Structure 1
Amino acid sequence: MTENQWLKLHAQSLEWVKAQLNPTAKVLDVYSLKGGTSSTLLELLVQEEDQQRFYVLRLFHKADWLAKEPDLAKHEAESLQYAKRAGLAVPRLIAYDETGENSGMPAVLMTKMPGSVVLQPSNDEQWLDSLAATLAKLHQTKVDNFSYDYFSYNDVFLLEKPIWSKFQHDWMRAFYIVSGGRPSFQECFIHRDFHPANILWEDRQVSAIVDWVNACRGPAGIDIGHCRVNLAQLYGISVANDFLTAYERHAGSSFTYDPYWDLLSLTDTLDGSPTVYPGWKVFGMKGLSDELMRHRLDDYLLSLLDRFDDF
């Protein structure tokens, strides 16, 4: 997209935003938000009569993602509404444009939540415990009438032996396990992309859960597994294990752990040789490298296979 095309689209999107608020609304400033790797995230400062308010505008620009899931804007809009009704700390939906006909590309307009992403907490144990408690509360939400169902991102039958790994045969064993029958589970509302970069904090408390475009009905283990593989890459296996322990404590008898979902979540992250997620660097996480990611994923894989041996 050329600069002129982007400026034209930018103007169209802002006109759409004003139309969703009120005729006298004025967009005073626009800021790019950190961490948006699969969509464009903009923070808007808007003058509405005698008040200034902040909003977030998500624009879905990735053509390949939209080709697979053309209803991304609608999906996030419905997820936000469902989560809000459940009493979760999420942005309030203002409007969405499913096709982008009016806003220039598929868009979701929502309120801006207080807080910021924290990846290097000064209170590690409290931070991890609050992260687990937040997820356990989310999973208490019933999903009797939510229309989106869980599906795997990768077809394990099409995954190839990871040549980047020092434990290629162990990965093939993991693929074999995942390709088998899935354990039974009790369906609940899951975020589907729950990890530290999608959690906001204020005064050392969780202030919001953001990025709801993947929410669906599914097994709690998928959310836990996705968060654990992120924690394993960011901080190592011990932190990922401590998170699981904290989640089990908060979930109580409503949750029964099965390592299958951890392993499925791990294989779902595979897309070529592992690299450092760009969002982590944007949020100030230092000391990570692609080599470290490969090493930590290998270690995490072996720890999960050990759990199967003991299960």
Structure 2
Amino acid sequence: MTNHDEAADVRPLTLAWVSRHLEVGERIVRIEVLHGGVTAEMRRLTIGTQDGTTRDLVLRSFVDPFYLGHAEDWLNREADALSLLTGTGVPAPGLVAVDPTAGHCEYPSLLMTHLAGRTVLDDAGVETRVPLLARQLVAIHALRPAERPREYVGLTTADTVVTPKGADEAAWATAIGVIRRSAPPYEGRFLHRDFQPGNVLFDVPPPVPAGARITGVVDWAATCWGPADLDVAHCSTNLALLHGPAWGPRFAQAYEEAGGGLAAAASERLYWQVRDALACSEEVQLVAQPWRKAGRTELTTRAVEERLDAYVTALMDALG
């Protein structure tokens, strides 16, 4: 077995657990770190098969003490989601095994199939990718599982919002006032809950970005039941921070053009847009870090804060 680097090593108990879930005659021949995750360690495992070919699996392990308290819940939810998605046409990994309580591994872990493709975070080609993202999210929201996942949980409150330094204080005060109101009524949908460019894999054949296609959607640990507006708002916020504030409203428009349904009243749509944007204010540093590691070095914490301020201000300007 060879490793791409020493950091790729899989711990002994986990390695033994993975090996028990391989086919007869298979063995791990290569381990490689996958970058971009925030909450868990990700490893790509190349498996040598009995007939001399290879296949890839992905190992997800929660090792950070800050996230260990959530690991059992997140891994169970992801395992349930991956099982539900099998055969639906939504390009998600296949579940191989899960150890949510670290009964066999050193840390809570999940083993799944590997999907082809890569995340694409560059500005170039975003106008092509946004309609693809919208159509994929419409397909996810069209799922009607026999057993619904749990109801969504709000990720912020009016009292925990962090107003960026130098932000338009009047706009932010108005935005905070929006989410002090009760959530509007909604028709529930199956939500990914973290649908955004960092969790979508693309095949982008060079040198024609227009030929891009989605090959996978990953990280289903936050799957829940709630308003379609919430998933749309989350992707809108991420696009606004990655590519500029104008891309937030453009994604909502693309979602509707793809056949997706949003809240009928503009005030109700605004509630979900603002709720997600303000939730991001509490973790700007965590949001920006994987983007910089992926090559978007200009997206410093401060730069992302400024884009968030501009986006929130634009939402409030639209309110009139």
Same fold (TM over 0.5): yes
Q: How many residues align?
A: 303
Instruction: Give the deviation of 1:161 after TM superposition.
Output: 5.7
Instruction: Give the deviation of 1:289 after TM superposition.
Output: 2.2
* Runs of 4+ with >4 A deviation: 6-9, 252-255, 272-276
Q: Does 1:245 find its partner at 2:253? A: yes
- 2:154 maps to amino acid: S
Native 8 Å contact 1:187 1:219 kept in 2: yes
Q: Which residue of 1 aligns with 2:12?
A: 11
Q: CA, structure 1 residues 144+176, in 2 after alignment: closer, same or farther (shift >3 Å)? A: farther
Please point out which of 73, 76, 89 is paired with 2:75.
Answer: 73
Q: CA, structure 1 residues 85+273, in 2 after alignment: closer, same or farther (shift >3 Å)? A: closer
- 1:242 maps to amino acid: R
Instruction: Give the deviation of 1:284 after TM superposition.
Output: 2.0
Instruction: Give the deviation of 1:163 after TM superposition.
Output: 5.6
Distance 1:69 1:173 in 2: 36
Q: Which residue of 1 aligns with 2:228?
A: 220
Percent identical pairs in the alignment equals 27
What secondary structure does 1:21 align onto? coil
Native 8 Å contact 2:288 2:304 kept in 1: no
Native 8 Å contact 1:165 1:294 kept in 2: no
Q: CA, structure 1 residues 140+58, in 2 after alignment: closer, same or farther (shift >3 Å)? A: same
Normalised to the residue count of structure 2, the TM-score between the two structures is 0.87
Offset from partner CA, 1:168-218 (integer Å, 9 cap, x none): 343232222112111111111111111111110114100000111111111
Native 8 Å contact 1:161 1:172 kept in 2: no
- Coordinate RMSD, CA, aligned: 2.3
Distance 1:272 1:79 in 2: 25
Q: Which residue of 1 aligns with 2:208?
A: none
Q: CA, structure 1 residues 129+59, in 2 after alignment: closer, same or farther (shift >3 Å)? A: same
Deviates most, 40-49 or 245-254? 245-254
- 2:242 maps to amino acid: L
- 1:193 maps to amino acid: D
Instruction: Give the deviation of 1:7 after TM superposition.
Output: 9.6
Normalised to the residue count of structure 1, the TM-score between the two structures is 0.89
Instruction: Give the deviation of 1:160 after TM superposition.
Output: 5.4
Distance 1:262 1:133 in 2: 19
Q: Which residue of 1 aligns with 2:60?
A: 58
Structure 1 unaligned spans of 5+ = 1-5
Distance 1:292 1:186 in 2: 36
Native 8 Å contact 1:32 1:43 kept in 2: yes
What secondary structure does 2:246 align onto? helix
Deviates most, 248-257 or 80-89? 248-257
Q: CA, structure 1 residues 26+64, in 2 after alignment: closer, same or farther (shift >3 Å)? A: same
Instruction: Give the deviation of 1:111 after TM superposition.
Output: 0.4
